[in-house]
A = this chain, B = another copy of it.
């Protein structure tokens, strides 16, 4: 009984595999290999990762740690682009007050965090005798965030102002006292949210 020994792993060119059966086998093996590598990378280095693969047949395979969606969300949040913007616009087309509520709650959360960080920096500055505030890397970075937060807020305010002026110009006699209570009422609402500090998106604070 002479059995034919395996030739072992053969070298292949990295080019589209033409034999369909080979392609299917190779895809299956390499896909699992890729996901295994990704899993090891997660464990070894404690990183977040997401992999999405569409097979030649259009079937989707994915790997994610901790979850594909969370990593994608994080990625999209930092890489806004035309495609995702279009998605967001579409999402808002059917969105309503509740979503505005969520968004503003989230913004207020961030503002609270920034305020606390800013206060911490102030405290450090006032009592800094053994350590200067800029020697604390993490807190300093928060200042960076604060700066950018301020810029972003300025942008928002500018937009509001511009648009308000525009509307006023178009509706000169539309000024009424319908919303005149807003300014005086804002302080009470401020107390209602000042404690919000969870790091997720805010829920159910009924701001809008």
Number of interface residues of A (CB under 8 A): 154
The complex is assembled from copies of this chain, and their number is 2
Say if the beta carbon of A21 comes within 8 Å of chain B. Answer: no
Q: How far is the CA of A133 from the CA of B88 in the complex (A)?
A: 34
Q: What distance in Å separates the Cβ of A110 from its nearest Cβ neighbour in chain B?
A: 5
A30 engages B45 (CB within 8 Å): yes
A37 engages B34 (CB within 8 Å): yes
Q: What distance in Å separates the Cβ of A98 from its nearest Cβ neighbour in chain B?
A: 3
Within 8 A of B (CB), among A149-186: 149-168, 171-183, 185-186
B190 engages A46 (CB within 8 Å): no
Within 8 A of B (CB), among A93-110: 93-110
The answer to whether residues A154 and B115 also contact, given A27-B41, A174-B179 and a CB cut-off of 8 A, is yes
